[in-house]
Structures are given as structure tokens and as C-alpha cells.
Structure 1
Amino acid sequence: MSGVALALEVVVVFFLALFLLHRYGDFRKQHRMVLFATLLAWFLCFLIVFILPLDVSTTIYNQCKTDNEVHLVPSNTLKSDNSSNSSVVPTQRVAKTCYKPWSYIPDGILPVFWRVVYWTSQFLTWLLIPFMQSYARSGGFSISGKVKTALIENAIYYGTYLLIFCSLLIYVAVTPKWHLTWSDLRTIGITAANTWGLFLLVLLLGYGLVEIPRSYWRASCHGQLLAKTYFKAAKLMTEKADAEENLEDVMEDVRTVNETIKYNHPLRKCIDTILKKCPVEYQEKMGRNMDDYEDFDDKGNPYPSKKSLVKLHKQVIYAVQRHNRTQVQWQILLDEAFHLEDVAKNETSSTHQFVHSFPSAEPPGWISKYLYTPTMEWYWECVFRRWCYRVLAVVLCVFSAAVVWSECTFFSTQPVLSLFAVFIQLAERDYNYVYIEMACFVTIFFLCYCVYSTVFRIRVFNYYYLAPHHQTDAYSLQFSGMLFCRLTPPLCLNFLGVIHMDSTISHHARQKTAYNSIMGSMQVLSFIANGFYIYYPMLIVLLCIATYFSLGTRCLNLLGFQQFMGENDLTSDLVDEGKELIRRERRKRQRTEDGESRRREWRERYSEQRERYGGRNRSAYSELKEADGPGTDTGRAQSRRDRSDKAELLQDVEPLDFTGEEPLETDNRRYAGGHYLSTSASRSRIFDDETTILTYVRNTELPAAFLIITLSSSL
């Protein structure tokens, strides 16, 4: 199995990252460089989480081999002979059996692997992805202009990182016992990046350790969850209306500039670039007024400068992205609200079958037919789900308590107080590598889930929204990749300290993991290795207490940012407003569904009648043709002359406009194609507009009189 586990996990992680990118991104519309950078960032971060448990098990095996080479085990045995004399055999070397893990990775592979993964992820998060974000949102019309704007906007990020690095560099330079080498400079850079990441990591982790178990517990209560959904709907509608208003204002500015600058102006190419970023409906409206040609040299009208067009271009990009984001969020929230309302209605159902208000238009698949049937869905949604969520909330709460305790006590090595270190050391005695790897993976996965989900739960980060069904914009994809690359390395380093696999923190003379080896000796910066890395994670206790009592939510309410507060008066008002909005959207969608079902029903009904009566007409026509004799030639000629005269008269008559708003003056009119159409108003709104009847009259082969009789009898 040498290296097979590593290669297998690399392939699995790659397809996992590709699947998630396909779910959230859009391969057809988004730029290839954006997709590639996001895929690479996700892939590298997931690799760190999946491969680190293999590194831990391999290190434990290597430590066992090292102990066999160094330690001597005394063995005092008696040796007897025939003369009954006994002697003591001196201490001898006894080899302890070391079992090789199933996922053992040969020496020399992991250090190179970690070095490539780490430095590539750091290049992405600090240089490439921030630059691509600013480049994509830049309002410049040339590559050089976008590059210049991106460098200026990212100066604050580069400056912050450079300031931390220079401060640490000065500290090491003035310390007499240290001599700066290339290895020390590399360690300073890694320490600076991990310090920034750990600072943000603890803040996010302290919130997630409390909020995630509490969110699952609240999700088990359908009433409270539905009220919170109504609250979100009211807030999102306000944001959606503001985004639409902002888009209208920006499009008005674009229309003004579009009418000012004509085809022969040097800045016309810039206007065309701006128009391509506008929504399609606005492009069509503005395209109707682009037929005029003016010589700008002969007019004294003020024209916008290129700098103002760059600013307008950036405003268009931001307004369109914000509008699209709110539209996607609104549709997702509507589906969630409709589903929760369906659950509330089905809880009192005596048939024990789940009924959806808006069934899916797609045909049911194999799973829906045989496994997840309406009965099974009812038991899951109305009975089992709430209890599963409560059990999961309790398990996550226990996990959170273990993490908080271990973060506050992992610096203690005698005795070992960290719970995760105790579990790993117990499994290490029996060389249970499968348990070690599973325990490491579950712990790292839980920490990652607490940290990364927090980013998208906090309201200030809602601007970066990961929406499924290919609805995530490029900026959010890049932001997620950048943040994952910044937080994953310090998170894994903190995890190794919690399980006492980091010799810098545990102060044990044991072999380092390959991941620790690329980080260098943290003793170059002793005040960080022995101070910040050990005692700063204790801040999690204060953050968990603040999150439990919702201090952050209360502060945001005081500042004017409405948050869901249970029995608060403002919260109740927003819940009522959101409930009315959802009810209005439900009626709108219901009318749309009814209209589509009526159209589909009429098409199916009259297509069958068309086939049936079309066959009868063809048979009757064949019988009449056989009954005709030679004496009918004169009558046929006269009939052709009459039809030609009628056709000439009909060509002079102006065809009716069935799409107009004015009512028809007469009950019956002759259509230009030769058929008759009844224009009496529908009494049951079977047809939503006149175009349905007109289309059927044009396409049908039935006699007009038969059609009128059929429609009248149906109405």
C-alpha cells in the first residue's frame, strides 16, 4: 500500500472539489481563470484536511522505529547450570514490535508534498486571488488600466502583510543570539501568515462552536424556524428593492451617456463595453435609440471623460452583481419558506403522505418512486427529522465542549489535559492507526465546519454568498478560495498542538510531522511560539460566552442592524411583514401554475380532437371525390372563380389586431386566412389571452363552424 492511499485521496479530493465547483459555479458563463483558481484553492485546502491524518499515523510509526533504535529495555533473567549456580544476564536490547499503518507513506514524499501544497496555497491567497478579484471588478477598459487598479486596491492587503513581516524581521535582527539565514526568513514569513490566520481563526471558531449546535437545535422546531424565515424574507425584500433601485439609477446614467456619445466618438468603444455588462432587457431598450449619427466635432455638448466612464463601468458591474445576488437569494428563500409551510400543513395530515404545494415539473426519479416515497417523506419531515436534529445538536454540543476544553489546556503536558491528545495517545499504544486517522479527520472536519460556516452566517459577510444551482458569482467563488487558503494552515497547526504532535508546544523530544517540518522552528520567534500560539486560543471561552448570550446580535440591534431576537417588538413586526410577503408570492406562483396547467390541458384536449375529426374529414373528402363525375367540371370552374373573387376582396380588408386593448365592435369577423373566429368574452377565463385562440385557429384543420360550436359548448 506504499503511496496508494495518498494517490487515492488526491484523486477523491480532486473530484470532490470539482463537484462542489460545478454545483456552485457556472462552467459556461464564468471565466476559465476564475474557475481554475477557485478549483485549485479548494483542492489544496481539502487536501490538507484529508492528508494530515495520514501524516499523523506515519509519524507515529516512524517514532516507534526511532524508539527501538535508542531505548534499551532491561531484562534480568536467571541462568542456571548443573552446579545450581545462577547468574544475572546483563541488560540487552529488546525490539518492540512496530506495526506499519495501512496508509504508510514512504519517507521523503510528504515533505515535498506539503511544501508544494503550502506555498501554492499561499501564493493563491496572498497574491493571485486578491489580484484577480480586483481585476475582475475593475472599471478599466484596457488590461493595463485594470492591472493598475487591482494593484492600488490590494495595496492595503500587501501593506498589512509587509508590515507584519518587517516587524518580525526587525525583532529577529536586534536579537543578539539569532543570525538571519534564508531558513529564518522563510520561518518569519510563515509565522506572519499563520499569526494573521490564527487571529481570525479564533474569532470565527468561538462563534461557530456555539452557534452551529444551537442552529441545529432551533431547526428541530418548525415554528421558530418558519418565523425566522419570515424575518429573513422581510429583510431580504428591503435589500432586493434597494438593489433594484440602485440598478435603475445606474442604468439611467448609462442611458444618458449612451445617448450623448454616438457611433463616431472615440469613447464609443468604452460605451459598448459598458452596455455588454448591462442586463439583456436594458440592452434592448438602449439599442432602440442608437440609430442616430452625429459629428461630435460640430457640437458643443459636454462629453464624459474616460475617468468618469471607468467609474461608471465599475458601478455597473457592482450593481448587476448585487441585483443578481439578491434575486438568487430571494428565490432560494421562497423555496425554503414554501417547504416549511408545507411541513406545517402536512403535520396534521391523516393520510401520512407528504403533499407539496408546488410539485416539481420534472418526472420523479428512481429514488422518489421506490425509496423516498410520499409516505417516507412525511415520516422524515414531520416525525424523524426533528429528533435527528436534536440528537445531532447534542452531539455537536459535546464536541464543542471538548474543543473548548482542549484549546484551554493543550499546553499542559504533565498531566495531559487535552481530551483529543488523550484519545490519540491511547490509540497510539495499541497502534490502532484506523482509529487515529478517523479521529483526526473527524476533529479537523468539525473545526473546518465551525470556521467556514461562520463566514457565511455573519451578516457582514453575506455579501460573499455561495448559492447552489450554479448561481454563485465569480467574486464570491474567489473570496471563498482565498479565505480557505488563509485559514486552513493555521487551523491544522493548531490541531497538531491540541493532540500534542507539535514539539514546539508540547516540548517533547519526539519526531515532527512532515507538516511541522515545513513550518520551520517557531523558536525563532519565541514570544509567538511560547506566548501567542499557546494563550491566544483561550480567548475562545470569552467568545463562546458572548455568542451564547447573543451579545453580538444585541449590539447590532442597537446600531440599527435588525437581527432575529425572538420576542422583540421590531422582530415581530418584521415577521408579520415577511409572512405577508410569502403569502403574496405564493398566490403569484399559484396563478402561474394554474395558467400553465390550463394551457397544457387545452393543448392535450384539442390535439386529440384534431386528430379524431381530422381523420373523419379525410374520409368524407375521399367519398365526395369518388362521387364526383365528369359533369361537375363546369361547377368546379365556377367555384374557383368565386373563390378568387372572394380572395381579392379579403386582401383589401385590414386584418384584425387580436392583441389590442379596444373591444371588437362586432360579434363575428372574417379572419384574413379564411377562417371565422368567435370574439365573445370567455366567462370562465379558460384562455388567458387571445393569442391562444388565434394560434389554434391558424393551425387547426377543422372547419371554422365546427370550432365555434365546440368552443361555445365548452364555455
Structure 2
Amino acid sequence: MLTYIIQITLLLFYLVYLIKKYAAESIYFHIKAICFFSWLLSFAFIFLLPVDIKYVKKNKYLRFYLKIFKKQIYIYKIIKKFILCIKQIFVFILPFFQEYEEAGEFTKQEKIKKSIIKNLQIYLIAFFLLVGFIVYLMYQNKITKYDIQGLLISLSNGFGILLVVLLLGHGLVAIPKRLWREYNYQLLLEYFFILIFITFIYLKKSYYYFKAHLLFEQKQKVKLKLEDQVYLVFYSLKINNQYKEQINIILESVPQKIINYCKQNKDYITNKEEFTYERLIQLNKQIKNNSFQIKRIETQLDDIIDKAIFYEDIINTNNSESKNIKSIFYICSKSRLGAIYDYFYYIWNCRLLKQIKKIFSIIFFLLSTFIFFEEISIFIPSLPNPFKYIINNSIITYVFFFFYIFYQYIKKIIIIIPLIYISYCAFYGLFIFKFAGSYGLYNNKQTDAASLMFFSINFSRVSAPIAYNYIRMLKINDSAFEYVIGKIDEIPFLEKANMYCFPFILVLLILANIFDFYSKFMNCIGLKKFEFNQTSQEQEEIEQGKIYIGKSIYKKQFIILLFFIQLDKNGKYNLNNQIQKIKIFTDIFIEQISISILYFQIFNLQLFQSNHRCKIKQQNKNNQRYASQEITEHFLVKNNYLL
């Protein structure tokens, strides 16, 4: 009992961590709560599986002679069925909230109505397709009316198993492959350079794409004033007063600096045509999505740049004889305790972490090989199943004869490790899944509500098939799980498809992933690969990425410098009292910016501040104030240091 309490507690804390890591701060609390409980049921459904296996084994040995044990099994089946029912309810509830969050309507009543209509359309289409399929099977004498219930159960489970097979075909190879490549810091750094280049180009292209969209709206002669998006420009359209409230709602999602820029260019749109309410709803949805997406891309770009700078410093440190990490942004401590911390920080990042990734890559490769053969043995019963032999026989008793007291714990570990790894491989594919640039789980609190709902739906769809797949891997019968969810092979023609199609798909995906045959295909469907070839085009992208890294370093250096510059009571720079502090950083980047030019630029910043209304952020701890981001960006843009 204590073990289960610890597992549930750790699961709760881990889910809170995931929600906090991925969910955007602007998402309402009830959306996060729904997402939390949905994920809890999905993960709990899998982690209850070892309990099911335990009861099946007890049932096998006790042969139902104990009435108390009978009651325990019955209670467990009721709990399992209750969780499954709640999961099914969430499967119907989550799409409603997903459509509600995606809707471009301006009132709650309109959003609810739009969500209900959209979901009803999907359910009606699915219902008529299913009825047509059943009628066709009955016409072909494949099934009878008594087989309809079994057919529905088999189709539901079969779809889930297919989804698990697709995810495992990617995860079983991608996870050890990724760890092995992250062992090579130079390859990892070049990968970040390419990502930085592609992301930066995407931002620039998106800017002009949206500008073209703005010109298209101008050609339609619309009366609307609207500003839109970080880096994607904005809208400014003249409208009637009847849409003023809706326009204000739209502009709430647009950054203030883009609104200010938009107001400066509001006079070039002249139109006498009326702007429809339906077009305004569509525009609201587009602007909301694009604003969030651009903010997300900028955050990702900053994160990738930080990682690239970090690994560049690690590589430079490895190439030197120093025992401390040499970095522009990491200053070693002069105290004894700080020196110990710096040394262990160096050992961990430059020595231990690489070896740990290499070891885990080998371990995961062995686990993937083991799971692959176990998955094939599910669909082809004639193949040997070593895992079943270990679990069902007493070989562990003889191997661990002198540790027989730990026999049950060792057996539990052997049972749960493959289950955890299979779950990790399946959920890994979902976590890195990016659907057409819209749905995706993004860290740094950059995931919108619609994406959270979308992946909550898929977590609910995958969790039960993962557990069902594992039960079949162990060749365990009469489990509470099968009692609750049913069997996939109740219909003869589905059993044949199960025997041949699923192993073929799994083998095909694994081979394609090993030899990188389908990297472009995986990029199309959203599963981005940790892979690139050393082509001339990618070498150019690497060089461009290095240029952007250099510009970002200038930006970060200047921000650090401004942090150490005090302002007097009138908000002016007091350079005479800060000469020593500035000299601290002179040695760090004297090769990039000369000190005389730097002083001159700081003097220009004084004039810029006096001529413009710049916000000065007050520090409560040390009573110092430093220049705002507006000053920083002005300096960097003026000197071509800003990306």
C-alpha cells in the first residue's frame, strides 16, 4: 500500500510540473484543471496495470478458493471500469473545450454554440460512416447482428493499438538515437545552428506572408482598423462604430508595440465597403492564433540561442586545458565554496553528462530491441516470448536464490521497467508531435489551450491501448483490464488483420527510422527528426546560424552592461561613477566593441532617453535602475546587432 501511495504522490507532482511547464500563463484555471485530471486518469490507467498482473497471478495460484480475494478482484474491476468511464466522458468533453478555445466568436454564448455545432457535425459524419461500414459487412456476410457490439469494441481497441504501433515505431528508434547524437556536442551545436537559421528565416517569411495578407485585405476594400502580431505586422482598417467593441477584444491579444506601429500607418486604407461580422470572427481567430504562434517562436528562438551559446562554451572549454567553464555569461566564483561548485559544474557538463547519455543510449537501444521482439510475438504467437517465460516461471527464484527475500520486489521491477519504457516511447511521440504548425506541446509555458485539449484527447486515446498492448505482451488472460475493455480479436477478419498488418507496420516504421528513409514524411506529419546530413546547403545554414549567434551575443552583452550602469535621480547616466564597473566587462568583449565606441554609444543613449519617454525599471533590492528594453533594442538595431 505504501508503494502505491508513493507512486500516486510522485505522479501528482509530476503532472503539476508538466502543466506548469507547458501551459501558457494566459490559460484559464479551469482549462488547466481539466487537463490535469485528464492526464491523471490517462497515466493512472497505465500505472494500475501492475496491480492487475498481481491479482491475475494470485488468482492463478489460489484458484478462487479465498472469498476475500474474490472480493478484492471484484472491487478492482469496479475501480478500473469507473476510471475507464470517466476517461470516455473526458474524450467527449475535451473536444468541446478545444473548439471553444479555438473559436473566434466574441461572446461565451456564441463560442458554446459554435463548439456544439462543430462537434455534432464530426460525430454525425463518424456515425454515418460507421453505420455504412456495418451495413456493408452484414451485406457481405462478414458479421451478424449479434456481432455488432464485439465489432465496435474491436474497432475501438484496434484503432488504439494502431496508434500505439505508429508511436512505438518512432520512439523505439528515435530515443536511443537522439541520446547517442547528443553525446556529440559538436553535432548538437551544428544542429542548433540550423534550427536558429530556419527559425529566423521563418519569422522573416511569415512577416512578408502576413504583409501580403494585409494587401489582400486592402484589395477587398474592408472598413476595419486592426493591428496584428509580433513580427507578422498588424492590421489597421477603418470600421464602423458598431464593431468598436469587437475590435478592442481583438487588439487585446496583439502586443502594444505592434499596435503603436500600426497607428502610425493607419491612413493608407480607404474603403467604403461594409465589413461583415462573420469576416471579423474569422479574422479574430487568425490574429489570436498568429499572435500566440509568433510569441512562441520568439521564445523558442531565444531558448535555442541560449543552448547554442552554452554548448559552444562547453566545446571551447573541452578544447582548452582549463578546469572551469569559460563563458561570456558565466563568471567563475572567487570564493572557495564557489570554486568547488564551479569545478563540479565543469565535471558534470564536460565529462559526466556525455558519458551518461552514451550509457543510457546503449541501455535504451537494448530495451528497444527487447520490446521490438516482444511486440512481434504479440501478433505472431509462434515466436518465442522470453518475457513471458521470465514472468510465468520460477527462473528468477533460482537466479536470485540467495536473495529470495527480495524476489517479489525484483519481479515487480522486471514487470514495470518495460511498461515504463513502452509508455515513454509512445508518449514521447505525442510530446514532440507538431501538427501543421498549430497543435503542439511547447515548453517555457508556450502551449495554448487548444493544444492542451488536443493532446489531452490523444493521451486518453493512447493510455488504454498501451495497457492492453502490454497485457497481450505478457500473454495474460482473465485480467480485469480485458474484463473492462474487451478483446480485439472477437471478430475473425479483424483477428487476421491484427496478425499481419500491425507487425508489418511496426517493422516498416522501425526500419525506415533506422535508415532515415522517412525523415521528410515524419516532418510532414509533425514528428520532427533529430537528424540532418552534412550537405552543402546545411553547411551554409550552419554558417548563417553562427552569424545570428554572434549578433545575439552582442545583444546579451549590452543588456548585461546596462544592468551595471546606475542612473542618478534625474534618470541620467552617471558614467564617472561607473568606469570601474564598465572596465570589468571590457576584457570580456573588447574584441567585438572598442571601449571608446562603447562610451560614445552610452552617451547617445543619454540623448535618446532625454528625447524619448523611456521606462526605467526600479530594483527594490539594491535601489539601482537600469535602462529599459526599448533603449537596448534602439542601440542594437542602430548598430545592426539585433536579429
The answer to whether the superposition gives a TM-score over 0.5 is yes
Q: Which position in structure 2 is the counterpart of 1:145?
A: 110
CA distance in 2, matches of 1:467, 1:325: 8
2:511 to 522, 527, 545: 545
The corresponding residue for 1:569 is 536
Q: Deviations over 1:337-385 (max 9, x none)?
A: 1111111111133231123432499x99xxx967982111212222222
What do the CA deviations read for 1:53-105 (whole angstroms, capped 9, x no partner)?
Answer: 12211221122111779xxxxxxxxxxxxxxxxxxxxxxxxxxxx9x9xxx99
Paired AA for residue 554 in structure 2: R
1:378/1:683 CA distance change after superposition, 3 Å: closer
| Amino acid of the structure 1 residue aligned with 2:193 | Y
Q: 1:356 to 1:532 in 2, by over 3 A?
A: same
Quote the residue 1:133 is aligned against.
Answer: 98
Paired residue for 1:419? 386
Q: Show the counterpart of 1:213.
A: 176
Matched-pair identity in %: 19
Per-residue CA deviations over 1:217-258 (Å, capped at 9, x if unaligned) read 111111111111111111111222234445666789663686
The aligned residue for residue 583 of structure 2 is none
Do residues 53 (structure 1) and 21 (structure 2) align?
Answer: no
SS in 2 for 1:472: coil
* 1:30 corresponds to which of 27, 30, 46: 27
Quote the residue 1:234 is aligned against.
197
Per the TM alignment, residue 493 of structure 1 is displaced from its structure 2 partner at its CA by: 0.6
Residue identity opposite 1:464 in structure 2: Y
Q: Equivalents in 2 of 1:105, 1:571: separation in Å?
A: 64
Q: State yes or no: 1:341 paired with 2:315.
A: no
C-alpha distance in structure 2 between counterparts of 1:139 and 1:544, whole Å: 41
Residue 146 to residue 170, structure 1, CA distance change in 2 (3 Å): same
Q: 2 CA distance for matches of 1:44 and 1:562?
A: 30
Question: What is the correspondence of 1:41-440 to structure 2 with a 5 Å cutoff?
Answer: 41-66=38-63, 106-125=72-91, 127-151=92-116, 153-154=118-119, 157-158=122-123, 161-162=126-127, 165-166=130-131, 169-170=134-135, 180=146, 185=149, 188-246=151-209, 255=225, 260-262=238-240, 265-284=241-260, 301-359=272-330, 373-411=341-379, 417-426=384-393, 430=397, 432-440=407-415
Q: 1: distance between equivalents of 2:339 and 2:128?
A: 59
Q: Tell me which residue corresponds to 1:690.
A: 606
| Cα displacement (A) at 1:272 | 2.1
Q: Secondary structure at the match of 2:73?
A: coil
Change in Cα spacing, 1:5 to 1:564, as seen in structure 2 (3 Å) is: closer
The separation in 1 between residues aligned to 2:574 and 2:541, in whole angstroms, is: 44
Cα distance in 1 for partners of 2:409, 2:132 equals: 44
Instruction: Please report how far the alpha carbon of residue 193 of structure 1 lies from its aligned counterpart in structure 2 after TM superposition.
Output: 2.6
User: Post-superposition shift, 1:440?
Assistant: 2.9
CA contact (8 A) 1:165 1:189 kept: no
Cα separation, partners in 2 of 1:330 and 1:251, compared to 1, 3 Å = farther
Distance 1:315 1:405 in 2: 47
Report deviation, 1:146.
2.5
1:146 and 1:375 map into 2 onto residues whose CA distance is 57
Per the TM alignment, residue 169 of structure 1 is displaced from its structure 2 partner at its CA by 4.7
**For residues 168 and 204 of structure 1, what CA distance do their matches in structure 2 show?**
27
| 8 Å CA contact retained: 2:164, 2:462 | yes
Q: Partner of 2:54: helix, strand, or coil?
A: helix
Q: Tell me, yes or no, if the aligned pair for 2:379 and 2:503 is still in contact at 8 Å.
A: no
Structure 2: gaps (5+ residues): 218-223, 227-234, 398-403, 581-596, 615-643
AA partner of residue 517 (structure 1)? Y
Rg larger in structure = 1
What SS is found at the alignment partner of 2:188?
Answer: helix
C-alpha displacement of 1:5: 4.9
TM-fit CA distance, 1:270: 2.0
Report the secondary structure of 2:393's partner residue: helix
Specify the code of the residue in structure 2 equivalent to 1:383: R
Q: Deviation at 1:423? A: 2.5
Does structure 2 retain, via aligned residues, the 8 Å contact 1:56–1:513? yes
Report the count of equivalent residues: 563
Letter of the 2:49 partner, please give it. Answer: L
For residues 472 and 47 of structure 2, the distance between their equivalents in structure 1, rounded to whole angstroms, comes to 18
Q: Structure 1 residues 35 and 137, CA, compared in 2 at 3 Å: closer, same or farther?
A: same
Which ranges in structure 1 are unaligned for 5 or more consecutive residues?
A: 70-97, 291-298, 504-511, 610-680, 696-715
Please say if 1:582 is aligned against 2:556.
no
* C-alpha distance in 2 between matches for 1:521 and 1:198: 11
Task: Please report how far the alpha carbon of residue 686 of structure 1 lies from its aligned counterpart in structure 2 after TM superposition.
Answer: 5.5
- Of stretches 369-378 and 166-175 in structure 1, the one that deviates more from structure 2 is 166-175
1:73 counterpart residue number = none
Contact kept in structure 1, 2:100 and 2:112, CA below 8 Å: yes
Change over 3 Å in CA distance of 1:425–1:370 after alignment to 2: farther
What is the aligned partner in structure 2 of residue 455 from structure 1?
Answer: 430
Deviations along 1:98-153, one digit per CA (max 9) or x if unpaired, are 9x9xxx9933332222222222223323x222222222111122344334443555
> Paired residue for 1:704?
none
Q: CA deviation at 1:206?
A: 0.8
The SS at the match of 2:384 is coil
